Amino acid sequence: MYKLSRKNTALVVIDMQEKLADVMDEDMFDTALRNTAILAESFRIMGLPVIETRQYPKGLGNTVEELRDSLEPGLIIEKTAFSACADQRFVGFLKENAVENVILTGMEAHICVLQTALDLIEAGFNVHIAADAVISRNDFNWETGLDMMQNAGVVVSVAETIIYQLIGDSSAKEFKEIQRLMK
């Protein structure tokens, strides 16, 4: 549950969208954006699956521009339900790719990230949250969302810990390229 492996881990970037970003605390958003981008780019370099969700894009806009390149060519799920698990393509993709561990990032920690995490746990997945790559409109909602997830069995971690667990060894061929992302 705590140990991550490249063989069975996927990244899910939840609703990092333009109009949602506009109502977030700028400093918190910048931190979450930077760490989400590092995770997404690291997963791309390692050839691991990435899923991006967009909550009601007609109203909330596209994924923020700073992330779009890092998320290619991953699966995109446009949704109206708060939990990504409500979309059968989402769960189907995880099962088809033999995913057991799901890393969550995005917004908002106490709504869509939380509901997706709870549904993933119920479906039998191990769920990890990169606490420095999720955000809510305020600290209280962020902390409450993280607490609820941890109490439900989600492993709360940070982006660097997740990445280094997946790399596993400084002799890995991707190590230097990924290490440059973190500077």
Q: Which stretch of 18-22, 34-38, 66-70 has the lowest confidence by average pLDDT?
A: 66-70
Average pLDDT over residues 74-92: 94
Domains in the chain with CATH codes = 6-181 (3.40.50.850)
Name the band, by pLDDT with cuts 50, 70 and 90, for residue 71.
confident
So what's the pLDDT on residue 34?
95
**pLDDT recorded at residue 50:** 95
Q: What is the pLDDT of residue 162?
A: 98
Residue 103, pLDDT above cutoff 90:
yes
Mean pLDDT across the chain, nearest whole number?
A: 94
pLDDT at position 65 is: 86
Residues 37-54 pLDDT 10s: 999 999 999 999 999 999
Lowest mean pLDDT among 65-79, 84-98, 146-160: 65-79
Which has more pLDDT, 26 or 105? Answer: 105
**Has residue 74 got a pLDDT over 80?**
no
Q: What is the mean pLDDT of residues 149-173?
A: 96
pLDDT cut 90: percent of the chain above it: 82
Per-residue pLDDT at 175? 92
- In the predicted model, what is the mean pLDDT of residues 143-165? 97
DSSP the chain: -----GGGEEEEEE--BHHHHTTS-HHHHHHHHHHHHHHHHHHHHHT--EEEEEESHHHH-SBPHHHHHHHTTSEEEEESSSSGGGSHHHHHHHHHTT--EEEEEEE-TTTHHHHHHHHHHHTT-EEEEEEEEEE-SSHHHHHHHHHHHHHHTPEEE-HHHHHHHHH-STTSTTHHHHHHHT-
Q: How far is the C-alpha of 167 from the C-alpha of 114, rounded, in Å?
A: 27
* Confidence class for position 36, pLDDT limits 50, 70, 90: very high
User: What local confidence, expressed as pLDDT, does residue 161 receive?
Assistant: 97
